[in-house]
Amino acid sequence: MSIVVLDFGGQYAHLIANRIRRLHVYAEIRSPETAVADLQDADGLILSGGPASVYDPEAPAYNPEILAMGKPMLGLCYGHQLLCHRLGGQVEMGETHEFGAAYLHVRKAEGVLAGLDERERVWMSHRDHVAALPPGFVVLGATEDCPVAAMGDAERRIYGLQFHPEVTHTVRGMDILDNFAALRWSATLRRR
């Protein structure tokens, strides 16, 4: 069983993999251009953050077939925005930039946010944000400056977080990553 972290150039890809390994789950870091055939053994994919905008012509290249694999996915920061953009939503530059601690107001404590309180401290570092959800997604949480800080499509097991659960400043970050790892197990059981 393994989770693959697709590295979009953010500073935290190794930290994400480390946190997953602390959950006793094998994790490895790969390029977002990795062929789908090389990801078939993965039980889940995490799309990391990165410094680019999804609209930037210099944004990191990636293999768009990855989004159609049917595996549980978790997009973090840039990965959250990429999922939104490529699955039919809208991303735009915010009026304010968020950097530092913020309070997530959990609207639906389900999926990766299962078991969280109504208000949780998280760590933000972004300028762009999700302005319109992709079809099938719901808002799971928001901050004062980010109306879609967490989104999810439970049926497809695809989730996006504008914040960084991998850093210790997100107090319940390990719980969030553990919830994602649990999706991996349920996906494996469904295939048998």
E strands along the chain, which residues? 2-6, 26-30, 44-47, 73-76, 90-106, 119-132, 138-142, 150-153, 158-161
E strands along 133-187, which residues? 138-142, 150-153, 158-161
CA dihedral 105, 127, 93, 130 (to 10 degrees): -40
CA distance linking residue 162 with residue 151, whole number of Å: 9
| Residue written as token pair 């006793």 | 24
Residues identified as active-site: 77, 164, 166
